[in-house]
Amino acid sequence: MIGGSLDAFIGSVHRMAAALDGTIELVCGAFSSNAARSIQTGEALHLPKERIYASYEEMIVQEAQLPADVRMQFVSIVTPNHLHAQPALLALKHGFHVLCEKPLAFSVAEAEQLGIQVKETGLLFGLTHTYTAYPMVKEARDLIAKGKLGTIRKIIVEYPQGWLSAPIESDGQKQAGWRTDPAQAGLSCCVGDIGTHAENIAEYITGLKITELSADVSSVVAGRKLDDDANILLRFDNGAKGVLIASQIANGEENELKIRVYGEHAGLEWLQSEPNTLIVKQNDQPTQLRRAGANHSYLSEHARLHCRIPAGHPEGYIEAMANIYRNFSKAVHSFEDQITHNPLLDYPTIEDGIRGMKFIETVIISGKENATWKQL
Amino acid sequence: MIGGSLDAFIGSVHRMAAALDGTIELVCGAFSSNAARSIQTGEALHLPKERIYASYEEMIVQEAQLPADVRMQFVSIVTPNHLHAQPALLALKHGFHVLCEKPLAFSVAEAEQLGIQVKETGLLFGLTHTYTAYPMVKEARDLIAKGKLGTIRKIIVEYPQGWLSAPIESDGQKQAGWRTDPAQAGLSCCVGDIGTHAENIAEYITGLKITELSADVSSVVAGRKLDDDANILLRFDNGAKGVLIASQIANGEENELKIRVYGEHAGLEWLQSEPNTLIVKQNDQPTQLRRAGANHSYLSEHARLHCRIPAGHPEGYIEAMANIYRNFSKAVHSFEDQITHNPLLDYPTIEDGIRGMKFIETVIISGKENATWKQL
Amino acid sequence: MIGGSLDAFIGSVHRMAAALDGTIELVCGAFSSNAARSIQTGEALHLPKERIYASYEEMIVQEAQLPADVRMQFVSIVTPNHLHAQPALLALKHGFHVLCEKPLAFSVAEAEQLGIQVKETGLLFGLTHTYTAYPMVKEARDLIAKGKLGTIRKIIVEYPQGWLSAPIESDGQKQAGWRTDPAQAGLSCCVGDIGTHAENIAEYITGLKITELSADVSSVVAGRKLDDDANILLRFDNGAKGVLIASQIANGEENELKIRVYGEHAGLEWLQSEPNTLIVKQNDQPTQLRRAGANHSYLSEHARLHCRIPAGHPEGYIEAMANIYRNFSKAVHSFEDQITHNPLLDYPTIEDGIRGMKFIETVIISGKENATWKQL
Amino acid sequence: MIGGSLDAFIGSVHRMAAALDGTIELVCGAFSSNAARSIQTGEALHLPKERIYASYEEMIVQEAQLPADVRMQFVSIVTPNHLHAQPALLALKHGFHVLCEKPLAFSVAEAEQLGIQVKETGLLFGLTHTYTAYPMVKEARDLIAKGKLGTIRKIIVEYPQGWLSAPIESDGQKQAGWRTDPAQAGLSCCVGDIGTHAENIAEYITGLKITELSADVSSVVAGRKLDDDANILLRFDNGAKGVLIASQIANGEENELKIRVYGEHAGLEWLQSEPNTLIVKQNDQPTQLRRAGANHSYLSEHARLHCRIPAGHPEGYIEAMANIYRNFSKAVHSFEDQITHNPLLDYPTIEDGIRGMKFIETVIISGKENATWKQL
């Protein structure tokens, strides 16, 4: 693991997600650019001293020299945005598969460079767009792919949060600090941190691509250096239209990622904070609530493969991220064993990552030009 | 009553709403441009024959000649859009107050002409933007006016319906027929029919005005002559931004008007299909559910004045419209008695109507110009 | 109307319900045992002076002498429990149909006397068990009657309210005053006021009869003379078992009447405070939300006949009571015209009333004997 | 771990829960009474061969002989009910702390024997009543302990499931098989499997004890050997009354454990399938939704200590069980280090287990005597 020292939020979530299914073991780490903190973290995690590294460079180089059955099998990168690409490139260069936090990189250029490297090495690259790993998101994708909704006409995707309603980055709140700092976060705070999840889930569920967008982007809180709110008009490659709303100043909202898709024949709705229910609506038909559960035979195989326990025992965010870790590690095993990986055990890829970076950049440019339409 | 023959949807709703509180009596009507149907309707409603008229002109002229304690006290207009302004103008000219269905008129020009006439006659003019008459909408307006949310920063208002997902106007569905016919509906179907409700409630609750908008307007169903879907970016006069989504092709949605308002200190959410709950959210505070009920002393006086029964006995759409009838008829009494009308017994006015028409026109123009920003 | 002076809650609800559909006119009333208050109420309701009566006896006798096309067509009784039977008996004796508030009477003996009188006169008798008049309750009954749930196995019906959590009857709260006074309410407060609604809806929806019960009945608030809480085990005539919970000390609950019925093949759930949704559940099938709406062709005819407006425009408690008034007045017309009344336009009858009284008495007796099983 | 071979449901959930926080390592196991299956399971879990045992006796005896820093620190027992007590007794005898699935034992006698053994050895004993380990259950307990609800008056706890609506035990469904088999499950199926969870959560949240109960117990499905449904009247040691409903034939219900508690000043409600929300209700006050989240400073310390991630990232059932594993393992460390264990890191104990067994027995006896009141 690169990044994720004890005081980081997302690092411990990754570790829980990786541990959940009992098939992945944390074997080494460079948990901080501060060597002492890296060591302190590694010790707290009961790692042997020789596998706690002072820097990611050291870790990658030294692990690569270990015997194949000892060295790490893939790298997980959980650093802030500006520290995604360099470690990923180095890991790939030394033959390691990479699982990386989103957004993929600091800029489109970095992202594309990574894309080339992945292609050239032929190694696996995964991205933790966690929300698409929920079982009922798989179910939604499956229903649309099977034509249950007919031609898709309209997509409303929103991601309201309220936690940045006040300038808490000035008070030393660490999560807010790096996300609102252009040097660490890149072009964007809100669009990069959460808007890109909304973009990713909209394209994932529908199988469509955004072709054009018009974005009204704001820094609502005085003195904030990056955006904290965006309202975006979308157009998709099949002619469907949509809206994407992302906000970190929606006071009182926790993490309400929600998507609604309307087709010629039916509509569907999914809300991340109640992730085990998928609502399917149809004119003049009773509304259906489809529910996650390993025992629900009416669900698609795709959905069931991402449930661990019977319906009514809620699975949550950590389980969703664990689905990515499980799928990616299975893909690594398939790669090593040179067997075909089950395509239903999918995970976000380098292409999702590059697309996400282009989306962020396009939104920010449209925003600066007063919401002019821009091609994506 | 003008319009509202037996086979019209909205006419009977108006009659139920007017009857509910026992203070308004239907005394005459010109229920259809078809004289026979008007008579048939009037008879079914137990009106005396001499008060059933063959045309609105006849009704207005003849009623005006009746003694003051016999003739109608105000006119209710429930015809399609193209038949709002002429009867309203004639009624005003003959000294009758007018309560009119929305949108106010067929065009901005007509609306402004009506505005002048209202001003000149000094008579009362009400508009049945029914949704703003729910008690919890009053509560929302009151909370914001009192500063509970702080400066308003973001407004998301949406009105998805699914009933026009197929070209049912071609199958003789009457409601769909006139709404999608430019000769009867005017410039717009979706924006005029429901978008304007969304605009009205957003401005009513927040006390803000939309100053600028960028609208992506669509006729999704092939062959439809007017719009059936719109995604609109909004900017308000205090700098707040927003989104307005209106759709009649959101398959499976019934009538899901919903508004969310986020301020510096808190946010709120109200959904028309569960109208008796107002959700108030605040970062790091428990979410509050404020509930309609004549017995709830924690509600504002404004809200309580619009509840009839104790909490837990749901009041609905007809009660909301009845609030407008009750308030308007009380205003008429106050007018006649030359006493001050209680401002908490409010109702949408001619200004709301003119503004609604400008909104519709501006949206349609922006839509035709690929969502260019337009001033409102 | 008998009872329902201006300061009574339920009287005005009855008047709104009766007025809603425009087919019933309030023509006379004895609104209070206090003649002055009766006159004051009648005047406020714009009744002609000669039709405002000082007592119900006067009203019944004098109205009976008016010409058939002038006199009232039926009597509505909205007094406290101890004043139901006598006016009803007198009205029947003078040839008037009766619509009466629940519970039917002060005691089982009174109720049975009324039953005999109804039988002997052959006149119509309705009871305002309002909750069974919601469209989705009709839908539930219809689904079960059609066998959709299979054999019914378990019924959970509950009616929690919180408004009597404190001894507000001591503070002069009028609604609490008579309901907790044995001289006006009879044997029971909680079971008579709300428990009987729960019993009625359980038997109405399932078509089953309670045969036996064991009731743990309490007066939770110190000094209260009648019960304010009851937990009851139920057994039904087909072998099904159930639970009935009624409480007026469930602090914070408004009026949460809820019923769940489980059969061999499926289950259903309906909640009065969200009355326009009926939830149908089935093992290993998506849950269905069936929604009220005059336009929903998937609903039973029984349900649709009790909807006024399209889905998504919520109808509430007043509309439910208006369904009883509408159905009862249509039955009166059918009676007078000697034509068959549509059985789908049903309303609670004298049998429901007698059964309700027996239920109340049985529960109270079981309660006094430490929840011994009692036949019903 | 004892029990939990690859084809068992609950074993893998325990392993995920134990692994989640990265502080517990599975070091050995006797996963099945079938030695081959035990070995197969252990290998799949990557255990060294010498730590995979053919029987629990072998495991306990041999592990006890390993050096202190190598041998297992505590035993987790996840077998069916009839195989709880013997392994637990043996483990205690050999000095191992024990974490055991509920219900504690096969009979009250066995349970009490275990209780004596725990007392005599002074070792730690935990029970996986998972539902009381959710953060919002801790919050509920904390609110009541602090007097926020005032004196508790009424408790409604229910646990409806539908999965045993048909006689699936006859079709070889393994989970149904042992639970409906008196030789493996003991006196009860429904009450032992889920009713005891309801009893435990009711006593845990309120701090009260059930003193008396009257239970209507049924075997609804023809041919079933044990109960699948129970409706129970409850009385508590402070005079509060209650209802406990447990069912496995509530067709269409997944796992809807729900508790409502009403006090003199307020009420609360919690539903396991939406575990991250605690509803607090109060007459004439807005309803409060308290939400789980490590970042919510308004929550009690007790609740926050059981959240891993910020609000809006749902935690579920596995996280709840992981809370028990985490707390128990911390208690084991405190025990070994002879330091005081933080009482907020609580877990169900041997006393809960003995009480649960008495509850099951008392319910079954009351049921056999037609719901006679029995002391608990």
From the CA of A206, how many Å to the nearest CA of chain D? Answer: 23
Nearest CA in chain C to B13: C309
pLDDT 10s digits, C46-101: 999 999 999 999 999 999 999 999 999 999 999 999 999 999 999 999 999 999 99
By Cβ distance, the residue of D153, D233, D287 closest to C252 is D287
Q: Which of A175, A217, A218 is nearest to A359 (CA)?
A: A217
> Digits of tens for pLDDT over chain A (376 positions)?
999 998 777 899 999 999 999 989 999 999 999 999 999 999 999 999 999 999 999 999 999 999 999 999 999 999 999 999 999 999 999 999 999 999 999 999 999 999 999 999 999 999 999 999 999 999 999 999 999 999 999 999 999 999 999 999 999 898 999 999 999 999 999 999 999 999 999 999 999 999 999 999 999 999 999 999 999 999 999 999 999 999 999 999 999 999 999 999 999 999 999 999 999 999 999 999 999 999 999 999 999 999 999 999 999 999 999 999 999 999 999 999 999 999 999 999 999 999 999 999 999 999 999 999 999 9
The verdict on a CB contact (< 8 Å) between B312 and C20 is no
The verdict on a CB contact (< 8 Å) between A287 and C288 is yes
Q: What is the pLDDT of residue D9?
A: 79
Q: What is the pLDDT of residue B353?
A: 98
CA A57/CA C133 separation, integer angstroms: 73
SS3 of residue B157 by DSSP? strand
CA B306/CA B271 separation, integer angstroms: 17
Show which of residues 93-112 on chain A sit within 8 Å of chain C, judged by CB atoms. Answer: none
Homologous superfamily, domain D136-309+353-368: Dihydrodipicolinate Reductase; domain 2 (3.30.360.10)
The verdict on a CB contact (< 8 Å) between A315 and D313 is no
From the CA of A27, how many Å to the nearest CA of chain B? Answer: 37
From the CA of C283, how many Å to the nearest CA of chain A? Answer: 9
Where helices occur in chain B by DSSP H, the ranges are: 9-20, 35-44, 56-64, 85-93, 108-121, 135-145, 174-179, 182-185, 190, 196-206, 301-304, 317-337, 350-368
The verdict on a CB contact (< 8 Å) between A288 and C287 is yes
pLDDT 10s digits, A33-66: 999 999 999 999 999 999 999 999 999 999 999 9
Q: What are phi and psi of C330, to 5 degrees?
A: -65, -40
Q: Which residue has the tokens 């697309």?
A: A355
Give the Å distances, CA to CA, from B222 to A306, B164, B333: 39, 11, 50
From the CA of B279, how many Å to the nearest CA of chain A? Answer: 10
C286 touches chain A (CB under 8 A): yes
Count of pairs with CB atoms under 8 A, one residue in B, one in C: 105
Count of CB atoms situated within 10 Å of the CB of C77: 23
State the average pLDDT for chain D: 97
Q: Select from C73, C175, C254 the residue whose CB has the most chain B CBs within 10 Å, as the one to mutate to test that interface.
A: C254
SS3 of residue D144 by DSSP? helix
Q: What is the pLDDT of residue C119?
A: 98
Q: What is the pLDDT of residue C8?
A: 79
Average pLDDT value for residue range D48-63: 97
Q: Which residues contact C21 (CB under 8 A, 6 or more apart)?
A: B16, B19, C308, C322, C325, C326
Nearest CA in chain D to B293: D284
- Kindly list the partner chains of chain D, i.e. chains with 3 or more CB atom pairs below 8 Å: A, B, C
Going by the DSSP 8-state scheme, the letter that residue C363 receives in this structure is H
Question: First CA to last CA across chain B, in angstroms?
Answer: 33
The verdict on a CB contact (< 8 Å) between A22 and D9 is no
pLDDT band for position C263 (50/70/90)?
very high
From the CA of A282, how many Å to the nearest CA of chain C? Answer: 11
Q: What is the pLDDT of residue A96?
A: 98
Q: Specify whether the CB–CB gap between A240 and B217 falls below 8 A.
A: no
CA C361/CA C353 separation, integer angstroms: 13
The verdict on a CB contact (< 8 Å) between B16 and C22 is yes
A283 touches chain C (CB under 8 A): no
From the CA of B296, how many Å to the nearest CA of chain D? Answer: 5
Give the domain A132-308+353-368 fold.
Dihydrodipicolinate Reductase; domain 2 (3.30.360)
From the CA of B285, how many Å to the nearest CA of chain D? Answer: 6
Q: Which residues contact C172 (CB under 8 A, 6 or more apart)?
A: none
Nearest CA in chain C to B47: C22
Q: What is the pLDDT of residue C204?
A: 98
Homologous superfamily, domain D9-127: NAD(P)-binding Rossmann-like Domain (3.40.50.720)
The verdict on a CB contact (< 8 Å) between D274 and A274 is yes
State the average pLDDT for chain C: 97
SS3 content of chain A, % helix, strand, coil (to 5): 40, 20, 40
Residues of B in contact with D281 (CB under 8 A): none
The verdict on a CB contact (< 8 Å) between A243 and B245 is yes
D340 touches chain B (CB under 8 A): no
From the CA of C274, how many Å to the nearest CA of chain B? Answer: 7
Q: What is the dihedral of CA C7, B274, B168, A242, to 10 degrees?
A: 150
Residues of chain B below pLDDT 70: none
SS3 of residue A199 by DSSP? helix
CA B306/CA B294 separation, integer angstroms: 8
CA C322/CA C17 separation, integer angstroms: 4
The verdict on a CB contact (< 8 Å) between A289 and C286 is yes
Q: What is the pLDDT of residue C296?
A: 97
DSSP element (H, E) containing B310: none
Q: Specify whether the CB–CB gap between A212 and A236 falls below 8 A.
A: no
Query: How many H helices and E strands in chain C?
Result: 13, 12
From the CA of D252, how many Å to the nearest CA of chain B? Answer: 23
Nearest CA in chain D to C267: D251
The verdict on a CB contact (< 8 Å) between C286 and A298 is yes
List, in sequence order, every residue forming a beta bridge with A233; answer none if it has no partner.
A214, A243
Domain boundaries, chain A: 9-127, 132-308+353-368
- Kindly list the partner chains of chain C, i.e. chains with 3 or more CB atom pairs below 8 Å: A, B, D
Q: Specify whether the CB–CB gap between D350 and D328 falls below 8 A.
A: no
By Cβ distance, the residue of D9, D20, D315 closest to A20 is D20
**Residue C123's Cα: distance from chain center in Å?**
19
pLDDT 10s digits, A75-116: 999 999 999 999 999 999 999 999 999 999 999 999 999 999
- The architecture (CATH level 2) of C133-311+353-368 comes to 2-Layer Sandwich (3.30)
DSSP string covering B65-84: TS-TTTS-SEEEE-S-GGGS
pLDDT 10s digits, B133-178: 999 999 999 999 999 999 999 999 999 999 999 999 999 898 999 9
pLDDT 10s digits, C323-356: 999 999 999 999 999 999 999 999 999 999 999 9
The verdict on a CB contact (< 8 Å) between B15 and C9 is no
By Cβ distance, the residue of A21, A255, A295 closest to D313 is A255
The verdict on a CB contact (< 8 Å) between D267 and C162 is yes
Q: Side-chain half-sphere of D20: how many Cα atoms within 13 Å?
A: 29
Q: Which of A22, A306, A320 is nearest to D16 (CA)?
A: A22
B220 touches chain C (CB under 8 A): no
Residues of D in contact with B295 (CB under 8 A): 284
From the CA of A313, how many Å to the nearest CA of chain C? Answer: 15
By Cβ distance, the residue of D154, D156, D229 closest to C249 is D154
Structure tokens at B216: 């992506």
pLDDT 10s digits, D78-130: 999 999 999 999 999 999 999 999 999 999 999 999 999 999 999 999 999 99
pLDDT band for position C214 (50/70/90)?
very high
Residues of B in contact with D286 (CB under 8 A): 280, 288-291, 298
Show which of residues 24-53 on chain C sit within 8 Å of chain A, judged by CB atoms. Answer: none
Of the candidate CATH numbers 3.30.200.20, 3.30.360.10, 3.40.190.10, 3.40.50.720, the domain formed by B131-343+353-368 belongs to 3.30.360.10
The verdict on a CB contact (< 8 Å) between D293 and A16 is no
SS3 of residue C112 by DSSP? helix
A176 touches chain B (CB under 8 A): no
By Cβ distance, the residue of A285, A286, A297 closest to C284 is A297
The verdict on a CB contact (< 8 Å) between C262 and D242 is no
Q: Among positive and negative, which fits the CA dihedral B54, B58, B60, B62?
A: negative
Decide if pLDDT at C10 tops 90: no
pLDDT band for position D8 (50/70/90)?
confident
